[in-house]
A and B are shown apart, each in its own frame.
Chain A
């Protein structure tokens, strides 16, 4: 559809991918002084950011920010009170939320 309107989807998608990777790199650079830098450091954050995006609702940037805040808070507060269970609590909360609202908290109708 977009292609029919004369938009070069190939280059557009490439640029979007590049910008997204750039943002992730920026976050990585900001996080480096706080977290330990190691080859595997992306694995944990990959799962967390995935949860944040889904929780906030796909295609909703403010929602994603709130989702990220929620994920981070649950991890740190949970870490203080229930220690090793904090990730399980986080996953359980996200799971229940998605069953009640499959589009995420602030998703706009579109099924995630």
Chain B
């Protein structure tokens, strides 16, 4: 590395973390200035979905594996964290650690096998996995309470303090989102992340220059599930419970919509996509009886007009200097 390389790299690191940090401060002070309590809850939900959508985008946008069962990681972590918080202790970090351990172990076991296939076969296998977990959640009543769902998950405690509903949980989610964004941006910009993108572009060529394609895909799969696990953990504390519907394939479809809506292959896209999704859904459900019809129509139009999603539409109107790749 030459000195100029280092300074270019430092500038990029700075740029990648500066914007999210500024946005974090903005989001943190927002409830004191403008928005209502209800909007705070909606924003919390949107930010949790954003973490989840980013984790899916690692697979879809950066590895080229279209997962149609990403609810599996989300719902699984929700059940693991919720059960742990209910039965043992409501310490947030401990519950998160347990959920991540469960999700990572299962992802490592499943991922080792499933990343061998790609395309529609991968989409269907991931769907099958999620549906098997869904059925387990419905049938295994001793742990999950079946279709009634797990209720009465206590509020989490962080370093001895209870993270209250509303602003405290909102801030915790905002900090998590910001941290996940910066870490993932650094991760995808690293040699490992670049290798993933090489695999997405041309798997055969990547393999022929000596890249261990299977190992890279496997690690990316586990990381993707682990990030989704963080989202699932936050969600179970926000909702104070979870139901088998968090594992259902319609949820996998929703998160895929958020990613496509926002822009595949960017980290910023899924954040925009999930924010638009949550607020549009709230708006449409209160205005129209057949809200899915309006929602679907808007989705189809956006995808037809902006094939690269909302982030693609925004990057087109950016000033040119922003798009240079150093």
Once the chains bind, are A85 and B125 in contact (CB under 8 Å)?
A: no
* A59 vs chain B, min Cβ distance (A): 12
Give chain A residues whose Cβ lies under 8 Å from the Cβ of B129.
Answer: 91, 95
How many interface residues does A have (CB within 8 Å)? 19
Among listed B42-50, B109-117, B226-234, interface-contacting one: B109-117
CA distance A91 to B133 in the complex (A): 10
Say whether, besides A58-B120, A98-B124, A112-B120, A87 and B113 are in contact (CB < 8 Å): no
A-B contact pairs, 11 of them (CB 8 A): A47-B249, A85-B139, A88-B139, A91-B128, A91-B135, A95-B129, A99-B114, A99-B117, A103-B121, A111-B119, A111-B120
Residue A71, interface by CB 8 Å? no
Q: Which residues of B contact A68 (CB under 8 A)?
A: none
How far is A91 from B113 in the complex, measured between Cα atoms in Å? 16
A51 touches B117 (CB 8 A): no
B128 touches A112 (CB 8 A): no
* Residue A84 interfacial (CB < 8 Å): yes
B118 part of interface (Cβ distance < 8 Å): yes
Interface size on B, residues (CB 8 A): 20
Query: C-beta contact mask, A74-107 vs B, less than 8 Å → 1, else 0?
Result: 0000000000110110011011001100110000
Q: How far is the CA of A98 from the CA of B129 in the complex (A)?
A: 12
A103 vs B118: C-alpha distance when bound (angstroms): 10
Q: Give the residues in chain A near B127, CB-CB below 8 Å.
A: 47, 91
Assess the A88–B121 pair: CB atoms within 8 A. Answer: no
User: Is A50 in the interface zone, CB < 8 Å from B?
Assistant: yes
User: Once bound together, how far apart are the Cα atoms of A104 and B181, in whole Å?
Assistant: 38
Contacts of A95 in B (CB 8 A): 124-125, 128-129, 132
Q: In the bound complex, what is the Cα–Cα distance between A42 and B121 (angstroms)?
A: 22
Taking the nearest CB of chain B, how far is it from the CB of A103, in angstroms? Answer: 8
Do B135 and A50 touch (CB < 8 A)? no
Whether A91 and B131, one on each chain, are in contact in the complex, defined by CB atoms closer than 8 angstroms, is: yes
Determine the chain A residues whose CB is within 8 A of the CB of B139 once the complex forms.
Answer: 84-85, 88
Partner of B136, one of A47, A50, A88, A103: A88
- Bound-state Cα–Cα, A103 to B121, Å: 7
Min CB distance B68 to A, Å, is: 9
- Interface of B (DSSP majority class): helix
A111 and B124 contacting across the interface, CB-CB below 8 Å: no
Report chain A residues within 8 Å CB of B138.
84
Q: Which residues of B contact A92 (CB under 8 A)?
A: 128, 132
Give min CB distance, A31 to chain B, whole Å.
21
Among A50, A58, A95, the most chain B Cβ lie within 10 Å of the Cβ of: A95
Tell me the minimal C-beta distance from A70 to chain B in angstroms: 14
Most buried by A among B116, B121, B129: B121
Look across to chain A and name the residue whose beta carbon is closest to the beta carbon of B249.
A47
A98 touches B121 (CB 8 A): yes
Chain B residues with CB under 8 A of A98: 117, 121, 124-125, 128
Given contacts A47-B127, A98-B124, 9 further A-B contacts (CB under 8 A): A47-B131, A54-B121, A84-B135, A88-B139, A91-B135, A99-B116, A102-B118, A111-B120, A111-B121
Q: What separation, in Å, do the CA atoms of A111 and B128 have in the docked complex?
A: 18
* Bound Cα distance A54, B68 (Å): 14
Q: A42-69 CB contact bits vs B (8 Å, 1 = yes)?
A: 0000010011001000100000000000
Q: For the complex, what is the distance from the CA of A23 to the CA of B218, rounded to whole Å?
A: 40
